[in-house]
């Protein structure tokens, strides 16, 4: 079971699944610490003398439980590091803001009113006077 957690933790491509794997691997390491706290050491075996139980059996049990505790601690820490180091950074980085250049709008043609000259135009020449009628 532990091997499947560690192998599965290395190949996760989803940030939610990676978080779950990290929590489980942290729990495995914490379980190893708790096991180490409750297991007896060889010195404890020397201090207690149980009738009918040889010293060798007590030290052997202490050695096995201590080894299992250390293995759990190492497996949890190594799995945690492997999960973090193999994570793809695509999920963690926010999407970049794309800035696209907008073409400048062409200015509207300026329509101007026709220019009115400020000086008056010359008046047309007066029409010639009609000729007097000819009498015969």
The predicted structure's pLDDT at residue 29: 92
The predicted structure's pLDDT at residue 120: 67
C-alpha–C-alpha distance, residues 40 and 53, integer Å? 15
- Calculate what percentage of the chain has a pLDDT beyond 70: 71
Domain assignment of residue 17, given as a range: 2-85
Output the average pLDDT for the chain. Answer: 76
Mean pLDDT value across residues 1-24:
67
In a domain, 49, yes or no: yes
In a domain, 9, yes or no: yes
- Of residues 12, 27, 38, the one with CA closest to residue 76: 27
Mean pLDDT value across residues 93-98:
72
pLDDT at residue 1 is higher than 50: no
- Of residues 66, 71, 87, the one with CA closest to residue 29: 71
In a domain, 116, yes or no: no
Other C-beta atoms within 10 Å of 64: how many?
11
Domain count, the chain: 1
The predicted structure's pLDDT at residue 133: 78
More confident residue, 35 or 112: 35
In a domain, 26, yes or no: yes
């Amino acid at each position: 079971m532990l091997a499947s957690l560690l192998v599965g933790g290395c190949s996760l491509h989803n940030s939610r699944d990676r978080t779950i794997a990290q929590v489980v691997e942290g729990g495995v390491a914490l379980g190893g610490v708790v096991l180490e706290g409750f297991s007896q050491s060889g010195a404890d075996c020397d201090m207690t003398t149980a009738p009918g139980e040889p010293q060798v059996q007590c030290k052997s049990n202490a050695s096995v439980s201590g080894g299992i505790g250390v293995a759990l601690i190492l497996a949890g820490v190594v799995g945690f590091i492997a999960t973090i180091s193999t994570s793809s950074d695509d999920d963690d980085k926010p999407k970049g803001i794309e800035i696209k250049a907008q073409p400048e709008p062409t200015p509207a043609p300026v329509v101007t009113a026709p220019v009115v000259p400020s000086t008056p135009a010359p008046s047309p020449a007066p029409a010639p006077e009609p000729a007097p009628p000819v009498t015969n």
